[in-house]
DNA sequence: ATATATATTTAAGAAAATTAAATATATAAC
DNA sequence: GTTATATATTTAATTTTCTTAAATATATAT
């Protein structure tokens, strides 16, 4: 499983956003959801995903609850009130960043012809 | 000088894009241009910018030419043919990624009311 | 003189992601 | 029955990437 190099720096925000709209998710579910939402473009590696979840938990932004489903353990994560707040801020910031990025990536207008009246 | 955390993973592509449309730029100029295009949202740190330039040069994607302007040295970078090709690919990939990100960050439609006919 | 702007280099450290393997269970296919 | 596939988490080693910070050097404005 390999992910887009562009995921760097956005992973935390994506996780917060998914948890903000789904209330309760487990790690594997998050990775599947991202793959689905991105049309398989983004595949989260577990080595990236789980450490982020642990970190967010340690920072008090998530709480985890383990359940056994079909004989397999699942750790459900949900946002704390602080997590809900941070999710809002981060999503807003990332949306702004993508707009900025879009402007930078815009084809450069070649105004030389107009300037010279040609 | 501090940059957005979201810049991670996109810096290389941004540099390639700017060089693709400006033919010749020096490091300081690139950092100013990014700040301008992003309305001061993104400020490249030199510790990030210059090492990327060196790496791209070592990979044969850029060539550097030093000039002395106003008594100060400037290193002008320009894309090699391979750099031009990679710029196209990377810009296209990053544009696609920003679209995907936009979809993920979209407010989740709350269809529960419709589903239940309420 | 001093501050500010221009311009590059580079070292130390931290943060983040990749790669890869280990562990464990359920189910479908053969 | 055993093999493969899907589900699910953990974690260690390494690499990549970025931040922070300092060093170096010149021009211009105050």
User: Could you give all domains of chain B from N- to C-terminal order, each with its CATH number?
Assistant: 5-115 (1.10.10.10)
Task: Name chain A contacts of B3, Cβ cutoff 8 Å.
Answer: none
From residue A29, how far is each of A13, B27, B83 by CA, in Å?
16, 43, 39
A interface residues, B as partner, C-beta within 8 Å: 4-10, 13-14, 17-18, 21-22, 34, 37-39, 41-42, 91, 93-98, 100-105, 107-108
Among partner residues B9, B91, B105, which is closest to A17 by beta-carbon distance? B105
Q: Is the pLDDT of residue A73 over 90?
A: no
From residue B74, how far is each of A73, A87, B14, B17 by CA, in Å?
59, 43, 20, 20
Helix/strand/coil for B23: coil
Q: Is the pLDDT of residue B69 over 80?
A: yes
Strand C nucleotides in reach of protein CB atoms, 7 A cut-off: 6-12, 16-21, 24-27
Task: Name chain B contacts of A38, Cβ cutoff 8 Å.
Answer: 100, 103-104
For residue B15, give every residue at least 6 positions away whose Cβ sits within 8 Å of its Cβ, in sequence order, or none: B30, B49, B52, B53, B56
From residue A91, how far is each of A13, A20, B4, B68 by CA, in Å?
6, 10, 13, 45
Average pLDDT taken over every residue of chain B: 90
In 3-state terms chain A splits into helix, strand, coil percentages (rounded to 5) of 60, 15, 25
Average pLDDT taken over every residue of chain A: 90
Could you tell me where the beta strands, DSSP code E, fall in A11-106?
25-26, 62-69, 72-79
pTM of the model: 0.89
Decide if A37 and B10 are in contact by the 8 Å CB cutoff.
no
Q: Is the pLDDT of residue B93 over 80?
A: yes
Structure token digits, residue B115: 């589903």
Q: Is the pLDDT of residue A113 over 70?
A: no
Q: Among A50-64, A80-94, A99-113, B13-27, which stretch is predicted with the lowest mean pLDDT?
A: A99-113
Q: Return the pLDDT at B101.
A: 93
How far apart CA B42 and CA B17 sit, in angstroms, is 15
Taking the C1' atom of every nucleotide in all shown strands and the CA of A66, the nearest one is D9
How far apart CA A118 and CA A113 sit, in angstroms, is 5
Going B79 to B54 to A6 to B48, the CA torsion angle's sign is: negative
**Residue B110's pLDDT band (cuts 50, 70, 90):** low
Query: Measured from the CB, is B35 under 7 Å from any atom of strand C?
Result: no
How far apart CA B52 and CA A5 sit, in angstroms, is 15
């Amino acid at each position: 499983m390999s992910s887009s190099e562009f995921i760097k720096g956005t992973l935390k925000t994506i996780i917060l956003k998914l948890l903000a709209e789904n209330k309760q998710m487990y790690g594997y579910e998050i990775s599947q959801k991202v793959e689905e939402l991105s049309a398989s473009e983004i595949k989260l590696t577990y080595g990236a995903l789980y450490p982020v979840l642990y970190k967010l938990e340690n920072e008090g932004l998530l709480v985890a609850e383990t359940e056994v489903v079909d004989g397999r353990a699942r750790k459900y994560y949900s946002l704390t009130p602080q997590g809900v707040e941070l999710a809002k801020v981060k999503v807003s910031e990332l949306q702004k960043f993508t707009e900025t990025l879009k402007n930078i990536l815009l084809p450069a207008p070649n105004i030389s012809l107009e300037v010279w009246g040609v």
